[in-house]
């Protein structure tokens, strides 16, 4: 096979190689089976994998997950690590929605406890968690000083303000706040955009989903995570909102200048980057970490309002309902981590763009409660089928810098999805399948029709069989609040 001018070689049932050629400094490594690779080849995302392999200081291969699709600069579903002395940082390897991520809450409620009250519950969630383009809470307007504190403290700020429980912080990636945030590196425009959007869902593929545990694949891991067959769960999927978007937009301009200044040859202007040793990189990392912390605070506050909504509908405290946080993971991030490269342990800068950290059992960064089974991983599917909970593995740590996929991956553009949904009542179709939708607009629902995505079962099947994640349980939706 060829991908543009690149050969695509099959390594085994679940791995493909784009061999190093021309300006590439390393191979591309793609995780997919025969069927998924056909879908992946429909866009230019494999070309993006090859382009990333040309960036200075890249360590190991340029990696693509089975949910890969075309993105800005890096493909969505792309992972790459860079040497701290010779390598670069690229905003296109993090994305516009910095720390877009997912948290999962579990409950002691069973499906039967919720079904009869589901319409009221979905109405409460929709009212308490504003969604849609420009969504904001009318009762929250932070000062610029407050926003700076959110950038520094992340979910810890939210807990300190009464949003959630202190023990939540033990089950958030990085404890809910990445060190090294520098609010002074964030533009006033970005800070202004962050004043009213914290605690909101946003638009696009963001959502809050009430579901339940269907099939359990690993009893030990499920028990460690507090998941039981038939028990009700809640996903919260959102990121850093307008603040993160503005940070990315601001620094893309900076990085274009930096690439020219430092003589970095780009295969794609969207991969603009600066050396990790540069002042431009320091400032971007300070701003990016702040935006990531804003996203952690955003999801922490939404988790609080999820608990509040359940309390209002069921007349019991969140504690009595067992509404505990399972975990919260980032999907769009760049972080300094220790990994083995060429048999030697070294610190590298890992870019995960639409990819999830997947650390193995025993790793010190895995919460103690889960250290025997590995870090929880959440792979949402489309709103009409199912999602999956997995745990991290040694295979992921050794082969993908401790990374795995983050979702199903789109097969249709939003415009194409709207055309496909024309003349249909998607909300009614889903209601007929027992799934209630609350959304800011019908257009949003049409953009997110189930058939716009790959079947997430196929995606996580590759992850599980390739050994870069281990399936724990399947979750099925009952109700979804869409942006």
How far apart are alpha carbons 407 and 35 in whole angstroms?
17
Residue 483 has a pLDDT of 77
CB 397 within 8 A of CB 359: yes
Same domain, 164 and 39: no
Question: By the 8 A CB rule, do 384 and 430 touch?
Answer: yes
**Residue 29 shares a structural domain with residue 111:** no
pLDDT at residue number 130: 79
Condensed to tens digits (0 to 9), the pLDDT of residues 8-45 reads 999 999 999 999 999 999 999 999 999 999 999 999 99
126 and 20 together in one domain: no
CATH number for the domain spanning 187: value is 3.90.1860.10
Same domain, 158 and 234: yes
Pair type for strands 231-238 and 101-110 = antiparallel
Distance separating alpha carbons of residues 135 and 154, to the nearest angstrom:
20
Average pLDDT over residues 456-479: 98
Query: What pLDDT was estimated at residue 381?
Result: 95
Q: What are phi and psi of 396, to 5 degrees?
A: -65, -40
Residue 2 has pLDDT above 70, yes or no: no
Tens of pLDDT, residue by residue over 323-368, are: 999 999 999 999 999 999 999 999 999 999 999 999 999 999 999 9
pLDDT value for 1:
42
Q: Which of 469, 239, 227 is nearest to 326 (CA)?
A: 227
Q: Which of 69, 237, 351, 406 is catalytic?
A: 406
Query: What's the whole-number mean pLDDT along residues 53-80?
Result: 97
Mean pLDDT of the chain: 95
Do 323 and 439 share a domain, yes or no? yes
> Pick from 170, 146, 150: which is nearest to 158 by CA?
150
Which residues are 78's β-sheet partners? 64, 353
Q: Residue 466 and residue 390: Cα distance in Å, rounded?
A: 13
Give the CA-trace dihedral at 413, 419, 424, 428, to 10 degrees.
Answer: 20
Determine contact, residues 205/449, Cβ cutoff 8 Å.
no
**pLDDT tens-digit series, residues 396-442:** 999 999 999 999 988 888 899 999 999 999 999 999 999 999 998 88
- Give pLDDT, residue 444: 86
DSSP 279-292: HHHHHHHHHHHHHH
Report how far apart, in Å, the C-alpha atoms of 318 and of each of 194, 209, 303 are.
Answer: 28, 17, 11
Give the Cα-Cα-Cα angle 292, 293, 297 (nearest 5 degrees). Answer: 120
Widest Cα–Cα separation across the chain: 65
pLDDT at 29: 98
Cα atoms in the 13 Å half-sphere on the side-chain side of 94 = 32
Domain end, chosen from 76, 93, 110, is at: 93
Considering only residues 131 and 209, tell me which one the structure prediction assigns the higher pLDDT.
209
Instruction: Output the pLDDT for position 352.
Output: 98
82 shares its domain with 108 = no
Nearest to 48 by CA among 34, 22, 69, 33: 69
Q: Residue 91's pLDDT is what?
A: 98
CA distances to 50, 300, 349, 355, 360 from 406, rounded to whole Å, are: 21, 20, 19, 5, 17
Tell me, yes or no, whether 25 and 109 share the same domain. no
Apex CA 346: angle with CA 340 and CA 352, to 5°?
A: 75
The angle at the Cα of 143, spanning 137 to 145, to the nearest 5 degrees, equals 135
Total domain count, the chain: 2
- For residue 442, what pLDDT is reported? 87
Rg of the chain (C-alpha set) = 21
165 vs 235: CA distance, rounded Å: 17
Tell me the helix, strand and coil percentages in the chain, rounded to 5.
35, 25, 35
**What is the layout of strands, in order, in the sheet containing 344-353?**
9-12, 15-18, 28-31, 58-69, 76-83, 344-353, 332-341
User: Does residue 406 have an active-site annotation?
Assistant: yes
d(CA 175, CA 153): 10
Helix (H) or strand (E) holding 338: strand 332-341
423 in the same domain as 385:
yes
Mark which of 93, 128, 154 sits at the end of a domain.
93
pLDDT at 265 over 90: yes
Q: What is the pLDDT of residue 440?
A: 82
Same domain for 296 and 347, yes or no, is yes
Q: Are 165 and 41 members of one domain?
A: no
Cα–Cα separations (whole angstroms), residue 59 to 1, 293, 342, 405? 26, 27, 9, 19
Q: Quick one: which of 209, 207, 196, 206 has its CA closest to 134? A: 196
Are residue 89 and residue 136 in the same domain, yes or no?
Answer: no
| Residues 342 and 364 grouped into a single domain | yes
What pTM was computed for the model?
Answer: 0.96
Q: What are phi and psi of 281, to 5 degrees?
A: -65, -45
CB atoms within 10 A of CB 192: 14
CA gap 111, 17 in Å, rounded: 44
Containing structural domain, residue 70: 2-93
Confidence bin at 283 (pLDDT 50/70/90) = very high
Residue 359 has what DSSP assignment?
A: P
- 218: closest CA among 373, 366, 89? 373
Determine the pLDDT at residue 5: 58
* Through-space distance between the first and last CA atoms of the chain, rounded to whole angstroms: 39
Residue among 193, 227, 206, 210 at smallest CA distance from 99: 206
Domain boundary among 33, 61, 93: 93
pLDDT at 56 over 90: yes
């Amino acid at each position: 096979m060829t991908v543009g001018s690149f050969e695509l070689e099959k390594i085994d049932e679940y791995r493909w190689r784009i061999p190093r050629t021309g300006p590439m400094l390393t191979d591309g490594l793609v995780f997919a089976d025969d069927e998924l690779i056909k879908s992946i080849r429909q866009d230019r995302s494999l070309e993006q994998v090859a382009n990333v392999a040309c960036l200075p200081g890249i360590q190991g291969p340029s990696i693509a997950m089975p949910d890969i699709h075309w993105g800005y600069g890096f493909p969505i579903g792309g992972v790459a690590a860079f040497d701290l002395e010779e390598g670069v940082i690229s905003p296109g390897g993090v994305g516009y929605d910095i720390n877009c991520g997912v948290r999962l809450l579990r409950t002691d409620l069973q499906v039967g406890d919720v079904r009869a009250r589901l319409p009221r519950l979905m109405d409460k969630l929709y009212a308490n968690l504003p969604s849609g383009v420009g969504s904001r809470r009318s009762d929250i307007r932070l000062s610029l000083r407050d926003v700076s504190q959110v950038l520094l403290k992340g979910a810890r700020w939210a807990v300190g303000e009464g949003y959630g429980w202190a023990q939540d912080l033990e089950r958030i990636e990085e404890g809910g706040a990445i060190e090294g945030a520098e609010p002074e590196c964030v533009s006033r425009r970005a800070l202004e955009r962050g004043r009213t959007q914290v605690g909101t869902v946003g638009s696009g593929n963001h959502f809050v989903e009430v579901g339940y545990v269907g099939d359990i694949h690993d009893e030990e891991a499920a028990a460690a995570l507090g998941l039981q067959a038939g028990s009700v769960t809640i996903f919260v999927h959102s990121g850093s909102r307008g603040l993160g978007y503005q940070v990315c937009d601001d620094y893309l301009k900076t990085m274009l200048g930096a690439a020219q200044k430092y003589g970095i040859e780009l295969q794609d202007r969207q991969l603009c980057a600066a050396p990790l040793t540069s002042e431009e990189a320091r400032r971007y990392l300070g701003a990016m970490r702040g935006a990531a912390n804003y996203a952690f605070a955003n999801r922490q506050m939404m988790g609080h309002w999820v608990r509040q909504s359940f309390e209002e509908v069921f007349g019991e405290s969140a504690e009595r309902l067992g509404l505990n946080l399972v975990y919260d993971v980032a999907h769009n991030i760049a972080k300094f981590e220790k990994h083995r490269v060429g048999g030697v342990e070294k610190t590298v800068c890992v870019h995960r763009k639409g990819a999830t950290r997947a650390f193995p059992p025993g790793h010190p960064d895995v919460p103690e409660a889960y250290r025997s089974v590995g870090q929880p991983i959440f792979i949402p599917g489309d709103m009409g089928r199912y999602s999956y909970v997995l745990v991290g593995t040694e295979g992921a740590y050794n082969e993908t810098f401790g990374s795995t996929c983050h979702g199903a991956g789109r097969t249709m553009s939003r415009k194409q999805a709207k055309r496909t949904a024309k003349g249909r009542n998607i909300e009614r179709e889903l209601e007929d399948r027992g799934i209630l939708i609350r959304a800011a607009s019908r257009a949003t629902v049409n953009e997110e029709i189930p058939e716009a995505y790959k079947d997430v079962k196929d995606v996580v099947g590759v992850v599980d069989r390739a050994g870069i994640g281990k399936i724990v349980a399947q979750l099925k939706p009952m109700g979804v609040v869409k942006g």
